[in-house]
Each structure stands twice: as C-alpha cells, then as structure tokens.
Amino acid sequence: MPSVTIRLLIADDQALVRGALAALLDLEADLTVVAEVGRGDEVVAVAKEARPDVALLDVEMPGMDGIAAAAALRKAMPGCKVLMVTTFGRPGYLRRAMAAGASGFVVKDTPARQLADAVRRIASGLRVVDPALAAETLASGESPLTPREADALRAARTGGTVADIAGQLGLSEGTVRNHLSSAIGKTGARTRAEAVRLADENGWL
C-alpha cells in the first residue's frame, strides 16, 4: 500500500463525467478525491478548503473557463498542480493552458490507468501532455497574423465598433478595417467574431 496519498480536486460541469472520473481515480490506492466542483469560479475557494495536491480541470465550464481557473489556482495555491482534462483537444487550448501554469493536458478518453499515471507524474513535478495534441500543436506552426492584426482582434473581443477599436489602438478606422479584413481572411472566418474565436482557439492571441 503506498504510504503517500495524492489528494485530488475534480472540476467539470458535467456531473456524470465528474462522477465517473472521481470513481475511477478513487479506485487507485494512492489517489483520493477530496473535492468536486461544477463551475470554474468555484475552484479556488473549494481548493483552499480541501487542500488538493492536484486539480483536474475541464476547459469549458460556466462562471470561469478552466484555463482562467488554472491561472487563478496557481496564483492562490502555487503548491497545487493542475492537469487539464478536456473533450476538446485543441492546440490553442494547450498553449494557453501551459501559459496559465498547467502541468499537463490530456483528453477525456484517456484510459483510466494512463490518467492515474498522469496524475502521479504531475504530483511528482513532471509535465504530461497528450502526444497527439503536442504533435498537432507543433504542426500548427506560428501564427499567420501580423502583430497589428492580432492587436485588432484582441481589441475586437469586446464587440466594440471599428471606431472604438481605432481609438483604442491609435489607428485610423480605415487601417483597422484593413487589419480586421486581413485577419478574417487568414483565419478562414466569415465574421469578425468568428475570427476572434478561431484565433483564440489556435493560441494566436
């Protein structure tokens, strides 16, 4: 029987998934689930009470997404490691999660034994990334956006007008329209909002 038990927090907005993960991981002699939450904005408060060693966070949750929750948790409890466990294996998510301080990123269909092993490795200070996603992230290459096009999309996140964006960036409205049009073309989007979403998902912003 292992002498050290790794304490886990699981955050997922789907109760069935959360329960299944908890049940599978609790079967391991050296792992114990000490807390479960269904919202990203509940992670830090619950973690402060439960004191987990590793938090398994879903990416897409209400209240606060898992990547933002990971950053908040790492700031509040630097000793708690973060493993992102998601249905959506997108390169942009991997880049953003690692930038937020996550130690690992795996997809939900990872076999239970591999998931438990990933938790142990992260608890010991190692990094764990799904190999297929790591390869896809490398293959996706550098951003096609120029710095100014990226600035324009970032400023467009709030849904402001071209005039608003122009004022924020200190550019003319015509220049902003050109940057946004070019960014929409490069991302393959149909609208400005879709271009922002696609660029975010690819980790370009």
Helix axes 43-50, 66-76, angle to 10 degrees: 40
What are 95-135's pLDDT values in tens digits? 788 889 999 999 888 898 999 999 999 999 999 998 887 87
What pTM was estimated for this model as a whole? 0.72
The per-residue pLDDT of the chain, averaged, comes to 91
The architecture in CATH of the region 6-139 reads 3-Layer(aba) Sandwich (3.40)
Q: Which two tokens stand for residue 175?
A: 């220049």
Residue 1 pLDDT exceeds 50: no
Q: Any bridge partners for residue 128, and if so which?
A: 104
Sequence spans of domains, the chain = 6-139, 147-201
> Is the separation of the CB atoms in 162 and 180 below 8 Å?
yes
From residue 170, give the alpha-carbon distance in Å to each of 86, 155, 156, 175.
39, 12, 14, 10
pLDDT class of 3 with cuts at 50, 70, 90:
low
Taking the CA atoms of 89, 92, 95 and 100 in sequence, report the sign of the dihedral they define: negative
Q: Which two tokens stand for residue 126?
A: 């190692």
Distance, CA of 11 to CA of 15 (rounded, Å) = 10
Q: Which CATH class is domain 147-201?
A: mainly alpha
